[in-house]
Amino acid sequence: MRVLGGGSNVVIADAGVDALVLHIALRGVTARESDGAVELTAAAGEPWDDLVAHAVARGWAGIECLSGIPGLVGATPIQNVGAYGQEVSETIIAVRAIDGRTRQAVTLPPSACGFAYRDSRFKSVEPGRYVIVSVTYRLRAGAAPAVRYADVQHELERRGIDAPTLTDVRDSVLAVRRSKSMVLDPSDPNRRSCGSFFTNPIISAAEAERVVALAGESAMPRWPQPDGRVKLSAAWLIERAGFRRGEREGAVGLSTRHALAVVAHDGARAADILAFARRLRDRVRERFAVTLAFEPVVWE
What CATH number does the domain containing 153 carry? 3.30.465.10
pLDDT of the residue at 22: 94
- Model pTM above 0.85: yes
At residue 263, does pLDDT exceed 90?
yes
- Structure confidence by residue, pLDDT tens digits, 22-66: 999 999 999 999 998 999 999 999 999 999 999 999 999 999 999
Q: Which domain covers residue 108, as residue numbers?
A: 2-179
pLDDT of residue 36: 87
Say whether pLDDT at 125 is over 90: yes
d(CA 3, CA 157): 42
Q: Is residue 184 part of a domain?
A: no
Question: What mean pLDDT comes out for the span 127-144?
Answer: 96
Q: How many domains does the chain contain in total?
A: 2
Looking at 96, 118, 138, 170, which residue is catalytic?
Answer: 118
What is the residue-averaged pLDDT of the chain? 96
For residue 52, what pLDDT is reported?
Answer: 98
Q: Is 103 one of the catalytic residues? A: no
The answer to whether residue 146 is domain-embedded is yes
Decide if 185 is inside a domain: no
Q: How far apart are CA 77 and CA 136, in angstroms?
A: 10
106 and 230 inside one domain: no
Q: How confident is the model at residue 231 (pLDDT cuts 50, 70, 90)?
A: very high
Q: Does one domain contain both 146 and 217? A: no
Question: Tell me, what's the pLDDT at 261?
Answer: 95
249 is known as an active-site residue: no
Which of the pair, 75 or 185, is modelled with greater confidence?
75
- 126 flagged as catalytic: no
CA distances from 219 to 40, 211, 229 (A): 42, 12, 17
Please pick, among 67, 181, 196, 255, the residue that the annotation labels catalytic.
196
Q: Which residues 6+ apart lie within 8 Å of 203 measured at CB?
A: 211, 229, 230, 232, 290
Per the domain annotation, does 90 fall within a domain?
Answer: yes
Q: Which of 39, 126, 239, 295 is catalytic?
A: 295
Q: Does 209 lie in the same domain as 175?
A: no
